[in-house]
């Protein structure tokens, strides 16, 4: 193809073409990546939520792409505006039999809420999940445990919205409904039961740790932290910070290292439940100083009190109502709630969506306010 003299000269004077080719390839790739970042944006860019004083390292970094990603449960959440009563309408308790809660609602709003609860809790089974496959005239019967439980859960939801406003609505009106926990499932995810000893190779204190469990958030920390603190009102605290303290573990109120490990287990659970780190509530330079905590610390304390009340006043007393298949596998105890039951990995359940706006009937134990 080429003259012989050219081929001869080319063979006698070889040129390294790989170096320039690699250089051009690297430069071209860099230009392509730069152009992509300019057009699409930095996919690994982070944003930090400052939780304490500047310069103390109290911030919670998150990927911007994650912050912008909506909770998929929000899009499928059912809601419907209420019917504002004109006055004089018949009440649900006057129309239907055995209406022990929500009896003061108008028929339209009562049925509207019943249909919403069906969608929130039993979208596949429908009304039959609580009332059974019977004629509507028999809906007043309490034959199924699901109806008895649902009635009590309505009361619990009203109590949360009314009595724990400082936790639920600390930043803005958010509220809770059945959907906050259930998300279209008969049984909410992230409930918990007592576990007892989880380490068969040990006894005593060692028997409740060093085994990966859901309650310990898949760590070797104690698996009875939720039971101790969110059910039995155990004291949340760590060991003494001073050396050579004149006290003994047998003394009442003395924080032992067992208490410390349980506390770490609970704190790890709370962090995972909300998708936050320790400095969301604590000052990293003074973890144990209550005067240097963030405002979120107080919100969390109210949340702990709220869960304790939910478990002891509403959930545990239903133990005799549930059938065996709904009870715990070890102690046959009632299902209980904790932070993750509502939050599901987000700082606020459903990312702070105002779920109560259309449901004033669930916002108070008194007469609902319609607007």
Binding residues: 114, 127, 130-131, 153, 167, 178, 181-182, 267, 278, 281-282, 339, 342-343
Q: Considering only CA atoms, which of 332, 310, 312 is closest in space to residue 322?
A: 332
CA 237 → CA 78, 259, 312, 334, distances in Å? 41, 6, 21, 27
Strand, coil or helix: 30: helix
Strand, coil or helix: 100: coil
User: Which DSSP category does 208 fall into?
Assistant: G
User: Which DSSP category does 137 fall into?
Assistant: G
What is the β-pairing status of strands 46-50 and 59-63?
A: antiparallel
Number of helical (H) and strand (E) elements in the chain, helices listed first = 14, 2
**Separation of alpha carbons 133 and 149, rounded Å:** 18
Q: Would you say 269 and 280 are in contact if contact means Cβ atoms under 8 Å apart? A: no
Give the annotated binding-site residues for heme: 114, 127, 130-131, 153, 167, 178, 181-182, 267, 278, 281-282, 339, 342-343
Q: Would you say 71 and 351 are in contact if contact means Cβ atoms under 8 Å apart? A: yes
């Amino acid at each position: 193809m080429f003259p012989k003299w050219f081929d001869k000269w080319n063979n006698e004077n070889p040129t390294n073409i790989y170096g320039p080719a690699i250089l051009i390839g690297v430069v071209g790739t860099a230009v392509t990546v730069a152009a992509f970042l300019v057009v699409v944006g930095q996919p690994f860019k982070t944003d930090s939520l400052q939780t304490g004083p500047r310069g103390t390292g109290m911030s919670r970094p998150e990927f911007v792409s994650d912050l912008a990603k909506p909770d998929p449960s929000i899009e499928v959440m059912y809601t419907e505006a209420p019917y504002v009563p004109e006055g004089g309408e018949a009440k649900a308790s006057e129309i239907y039999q055995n209406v022990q809660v929500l009896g003061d609602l108008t028929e339209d709003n009562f049925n509207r809420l019943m249909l919403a609860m069906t969608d929130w809790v039993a979208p596949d089974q429908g009304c039959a999940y609580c009332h059974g496959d019977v004629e509507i005239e028999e809906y007043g019967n309490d034959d199924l445990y699901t109806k008895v439980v649902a009635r009590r859960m309505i009361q619990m939801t009203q109590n949360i919205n009314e009595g724990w406003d400082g936790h639920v609505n600390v930043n803005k009106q958010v509220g809770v409904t059945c959907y906050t926990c259930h998300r279209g499932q008969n049984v909410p995810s992230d409930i918990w039961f007592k576990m007892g000893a989880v380490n068969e190779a040990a006894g005593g204190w060692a028997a409740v740790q060093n085994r990966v469990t859901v309650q310990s958030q898949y760590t070797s920390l104690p698996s009875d932290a939720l039971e101790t603190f969110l059910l039995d009102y155990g004291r949340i605290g760590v060991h003494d910070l001073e050396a050579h303290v004149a006290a003994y573990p047998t003394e009442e109120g003395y924080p032992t290292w067992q208490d410390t490990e349980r506390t770490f287990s609970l704190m790890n659970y709370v962090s995972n439940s909300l998708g936050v780190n320790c400095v969301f509530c604590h000052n990293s330079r003074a973890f144990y100083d209550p005067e240097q905590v963030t405002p979120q610390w107080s919100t969390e304390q109210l949340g702990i009190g709220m869960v304790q009340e939910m478990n002891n006043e509403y959930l545990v007393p239903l133990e005799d109502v549930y059938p065996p298949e709904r009870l715990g596998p070890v102690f046959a105890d009632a299902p209980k709630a904790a932070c993750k039951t509502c939050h599901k990995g987000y700082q606020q359940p459903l990312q702070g969506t105002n779920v109560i706006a259309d449901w004033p009937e669930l916002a108070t134990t008194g007469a609902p306010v319609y607007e």
